[in-house]
Amino acid sequence: MKFSKMIEEMRTVRDYKKEPVSPNLIQEVMDAGKTAAGIAGGRNVSILFIDHGKEVFDQLSGKAGYYGKMVEAPHYLVITSKVFPNYLENSGYIMELMRLKSRELDLGTCWLSVEDEGTLREILGIGGEEKITAFAAIGHSYKGIFKHDMSKQSTRMGLEEIAFLKRWGSPCTLEDLEARGLTNIFYYTRLAPSWGNRQPWQFIIDKDRILLTIQKEEREDLRLDAGVVMLYFEKSAHDDGLPGNWKLDIPEDMKAIYGIPEDRTLVGYYSI
């Protein structure tokens, strides 16, 4: 399925059937994550599949979930990672890639936050020094008549709100995007999910590079959101015939050159 078509259909699923997912389907999802190169100069991650969903759900109430509410699912996916520069962005990128693969296989998923990592490690039996970076529910979505419809997409920023031209604060119009062949790419990039629909990202377009900034992280999951939007931009660009890749080694003076304010973090830039 074409990436643009897939992300238009992406939804967060919080109601699941109790029946387990076929091992073959789970393996396809896991393979999508395990074969991904990531975006931070090497994988350095492990992907865990949690089969006993009901038991984990009962134990994690109040310790993980979505807005403090644990989501019951037959299975869960967990990413653990070594700590290195951009390790959270890398984990967000890989987990969202697995969510997209799940959607392709007609499975539902939901990002979950980790409020108490120590307890989660104990419950899941995770040892070692790797950090738990990403956590998601996975299963067959349940659309019973007594369930509320949670499938509508949240509102998104307009195209003219998401990007600046050449320097922070300099407006980028629809005509500017169209002249550079970026309209479709940014249209689909803005559909990227973020925690609480915060949409913490904004871009700066300059010649052969497109810079990504996010709000200074009040909490670490903003950096997961950055990894997610990097995946959406990359896939949208490749779909639209614009090859390139993300560069995360940023020159020290780049933030000053582009006038990026102190309350923003410069994550990296997409090199065309």
Straight-line distance from the first to the last Cα atom of the chain, in angstroms, rounded to the nearest whole number = 24
pLDDT bin (cut points 50, 70, 90) of residue 152 is low
Residue 150, pLDDT score: 47
Residue 128, pLDDT score: 85
Domains and CATH numbers, the chain: 3-139 (3.40.109.10), 159-271 (3.40.109.10)
Highest mean pLDDT among 125-129, 200-204, 221-225: 200-204
Higher pLDDT, 63 or 34: 34
Is the model's pLDDT at 266 over the cut of 70? yes
Residue 154, pLDDT score: 65
- What's this model's pTM, rounded to 2 decimal places? 0.93
Contact status, residue 160 vs residue 186, Cβ threshold 8 Å: no
Neighbours of 216 (CB within 10 A): 12
Which helix or strand (DSSP H or E) is residue 163 part of?
strand 163-165
Residue 149, pLDDT score: 44
Residue 125, pLDDT score: 87
Q: Which residues contact 169 (CB under 8 A, 6 or more apart)?
A: 259
pLDDT bin (cut points 50, 70, 90) of residue 196 is confident
> Distance between CA atoms of 156 and 223, rounded to whole angstroms?
19
